[in-house]
Amino acid sequence: MSRLNGNRAQAQSEHLKVNVAILGAGRIAHAMATTLVKMAAAPRYTDLVAPYAVAARDGERAAAFAAQYGFPVSYGSYEELLADPHVDLVYIATPHSLHAEQGIMCLQAGKNILVEKSFTANAAQARELLAVAEASGLLCTEAIWTRYMPSRRIIDDIVASGVIGEVKMVDANLCYPVSGKARMTDPMLAGGALLDVGVYPLNFIDMVLGPRPIDRIVTSMTPYETGVDAHDAITLHYADGTMATAQASMLVSSDRGGYVWGTDGYIVCQNINNVEGIDVYNNDHALVAHHDVPAQLTGYEYQVADAANAILDGLTECAAMPHADTVRIMELMDQVRDQWGLAYPFE
């Protein structure tokens, strides 16, 4: 168990911060390191978290990473990092296919974890990892940044206000030309558009509509030369008559838009992957309201702060992304892949 789980009063009285370590040193690890450094310097977060350590299989790479961001500690193996008693939270920044194994390893070493999306490669792995987490009493939460951002609450408030009436349809897309990376194209790494970018449109839909029964899924994909999915189209038909559509690709760009259509109007979200603005229209297509989103450090700070506060409060999950929501999304992606006939070699 981490020294700080459920010990907010001690942390405050002794001026202790949640020490964050990064497991992995790839692209997303650099984004997190930048975030942690900015949080440490920001008045809102400076007393909450500290950038502490990084581990990579290559010790020289880890040392260079630590030097670049001013982390006090680096390790050339994950095992060494997990043996460090000063590590309170481990951010897992490796490919999807490794998340379950590494997450369990961290939990068994007594470390809280923040696991980069997609949480695991499939729902079975997610349930296995969460079972270990729940038995340990440690925090385990998925790092899908859009779940933690203030834009989510803005959208929730607009829908709850009734200004667009009853929501009947939702549409979201996210497409980036990122096929030149092994994590995107290698089946052994659970590559493909779905788990890397398609997870965002599906989470956008889920945040708007919540957990409601799905009657039918209609989906198709275009395979990449390695067999993983390159372009995805997914339509969800809900039991109450609501419908949602999602599109994702790793070969082209899109407007990244999120659209919520109601009986009295609609919402347009600019960039579901990091919302830049939210517009509300009535049925005459007149702009009713525009909502800016708060200024942010990088956007990743919200998930880190939620995780750190959950640790101090002794929680095992974050309210913004509870375990049930993580499993529901993983199960949905499994169902989509089943329709495509796409299984990863290790499944």
**64-85: pLDDT as tens digits:** 999 999 999 999 999 999 999 9
Domains contained in the chain, CATH given? 8-144+301-316 (3.40.50.720), 150-295 (3.30.360.10)
Range 277-301 average pLDDT = 98
Q: How far is Cα 289 from Cα 51, in angstroms, rounded to an integer? A: 39
Q: What is the distance between the alpha carbons of residues 221 and 178, in angstroms, rounded to a whole number? A: 17
- For 294-318, write each residue's pLDDT tens digit: 999 999 999 999 999 999 999 999 9
CB neighbour burial string for 198-217, b if at least 16 within 10 angstroms, e if fewer: bbbbbbbbbbbbeeeebeee
Residue 38 bears catalytic tag: no
Per residue in 141-183, pLDDT tens? Answer: 999 999 999 999 999 999 999 999 999 999 999 999 998 889 9
Beta-ladder partners of 219: 234
Backbone CA torsion sign across 273, 144, 85, 77: negative
What is the DSSP-derived secondary structure letter of residue 66?
H
CB 233, CB 219: distance < 8 Å = yes
Tell me phi and psi for residue 167, to 5 degrees.
Answer: -70, 130
CA angle 337, 342, 347 (to 5 degrees): 100
Backbone angles phi, psi at 321, to 5 degrees: -145, 75
**Model pTM score:** 0.97
Helix runs in 198-252, H state only: 199-209
- Which of 17, 38, 111, 117 is catalytic? The answer is 117
